[in-house]
Structure 1
Amino acid sequence: MRIHLSSVFVDDQEKALRFYTDVLGFVKKNEVPIGEHRWLTVVSPEDPDGTELLLEPDVHPAVKPYTTALVEDGIPAAAFAVDDVHAEFERLRGHGVRFTQEPLEIGPITTAVLDDTCGNLIQIVHTA
């Protein structure tokens, strides 16, 4: 068994697609119209057949209270591995990305947390 798909709830699929591809560097894998929304997934260009991230519309009534509580408490909705958190922090900050936590070293792990502009906090992490 392996993880095939995970999702983040987003308040605007088009804005999310631009952020996750143009800023974070993922590539679009699937885009299938489903009513007024889309089955819209992105993947890492380093692993195009790997785990897909679904940019899921936040239309269910339970989503807004859930995502709002996570953001207010500073809890990331997802974590993405990077080779160097400090370098990625500088690259993303250069693109205007807002971070809620600058790089923090916790033993052999370094993390930072960013705002994805679509209703989520996302953690980037690497292990030394």
Structure 2
Amino acid sequence: MVRQWIVIGTGWALAALTSGCLVSVDGNPVSAEPTGEMVFNWTVDNSTSPRECATYATPGSSLDLEFVLLDDRGNTVTVEYADCESFSLSLVISAEQYYHAEVTMVDAADHSMAKSTTETLSSIWVEPETTVDLSVNFPPSSML
């Protein structure tokens, strides 16, 4: 009976070691790959005034920022939306690779309705455990 429990216990230990999972004893999650943070800030007509967002919103609606992050092969990593009036978006992403981003102001009620031209940010490199700060201004000429 004891031998059977030793065999079962050994099997569980081996399964845990080969599963690729990492466990933290202090309660903090452990990532298997290095990550970094990307902070994206924007302005509308060089301003962070909520009035600028309202100026270009569809009557009865508001503006959202659409942030599309792509890897170096053009594959979509994530699509995020933020209220225009927040003027900032933060993401934790895999580090040590190149990205590019496409950002567009869209109607908050209908994300398929672009309210600005799309701005592209290229060659974004993220180092492990660092923060990359990015920013874009949406001038009046970019608003639709």
If the length of structure 1 is used for normalisation, what is the TM-score?
Answer: 0.28
Report which of the two structures shows the higher radius of gyration computed on alpha carbons.
2
Higher relative contact order (CA 8 A, sep 6+): 2
